[in-house]
Amino acid sequence: MTQQTTAMPGKFITFEGIDGAGKSTHIGFVVDFLAARGKTVVSSREPGGTRLGEKLRELLLHEKMHVETEALLMFASRREHLAQVIEPGIERGDWVLSDRFTDASFAYQSAAGGMDRDKIMALAQWVHAKRWPDLTLLFDVPVEVARQRLDAERTLDKFEQEKADFFSRCRNEYLRLAGEHPGRIVVIDSTKSIDETRAAIAAALERLL
C-alpha cells in the first residue's frame, strides 16, 4: 500500500511600512532566524517577485500613471506572484516572506493616492479572497525619520519622491489597519536600534512557531 504524506502548509509573512522605515534591513534577519529553526524560507517582494512582476515593478516605480492604473498593475503583479511563488511555496510547507502585499495598496493607492477604498477591497477579494498573511510586521517610524534614512542613501524612485503629507497618509492608514487587524499585524517600533528592533521581530515570530 502506498503511504501518502501531506506536507504541513507553510506560513505567509509580509513586511510593511512607509519608504525608508527599515523593513528591507530586517528581512535577512528573519530569513536566518527561521532557517535556524529548520524552516525552508522563500523571500520575495511586491511589486515584483516573478519575471513579469519585475517588469511591472520597473513601470510602477518610474512611470507616472493614473492611480487606478497603478492599483490594477499592483494587483496584476500580485496575481502572478500568488500563482507562481506564494501559493506553491505555502503548499510545499515553506515560509514565504514578501516585502509588501495588499496593505501597501490600501496605504499608497487608497489613503495616500485618493483611490476609493472599496475598489482596493474588491480587487483583493478577486485576486486573493482566501489568502491573507499569517503575520504582517509593520515597521513604524515618523515620516521625518524615514525621509532622513532615504535621503542618506539613494536615488529616489517615483514613490520615494512624494511629499511628507503623502507619507503621513500612508503611515496613518497602516496604523489604522493594524488597529483593525490586531491578530495579524504587529507594529514594530522602527525608531529603535537595529538590535532592539530584531528582538521585537523575534518575539512576533515566536508566536507563529
Ligand X SMILES: Cc1cn([C@H]2C[C@H](O)[C@@H](COP(=O)(O)O)O2)c(=O)[nH]c1=O
Contact residues toward ligand X (CB under 6 A) are 19, 45-47, 74, 99-100, 104-105, 108-109, 159
Which option in ligand ATP, ligand X, none does residue 43 bind, with CB closer than 5 to 8 A by kind? none
Reference 140, options 176, 114, 183, 102; nearest CA is: 176
For ligand ATP, the closer CB: 24 or 168:
24
Nearest distance from C-beta of residue 46 to ligand X, angstroms? 4
Binding residues: 17-24
For ligand ATP, the closer CB: 40 or 148:
148
Looking up cell 510602477 gives: 60
Buried b (16+ CB within 10 A) or exposed e, 12-37: bbbbbbbbbbbbeebbeebbebbeee
| 195 contributes a contact to ligand ATP by CB under 6 A | no
Binding residues for ATP: 17-24
- Number of residues engaging ligand ATP in binding (CB under 6 A): 16
Q: Are 194 and 25 in contact (CB under 8 A)?
A: yes
Q: Are 120 and 48 in contact (CB under 8 A)?
A: no
The CA distance from 101 to 117, in Å, is 15
Nearest distance from C-beta of residue 153 to ligand X, angstroms? 12
Which option in ligand X, ligand ATP, none does residue 5 bind, with CB closer than 5 to 8 A by kind? none
| 133 contributes a contact to ligand ATP by CB under 6 A | no
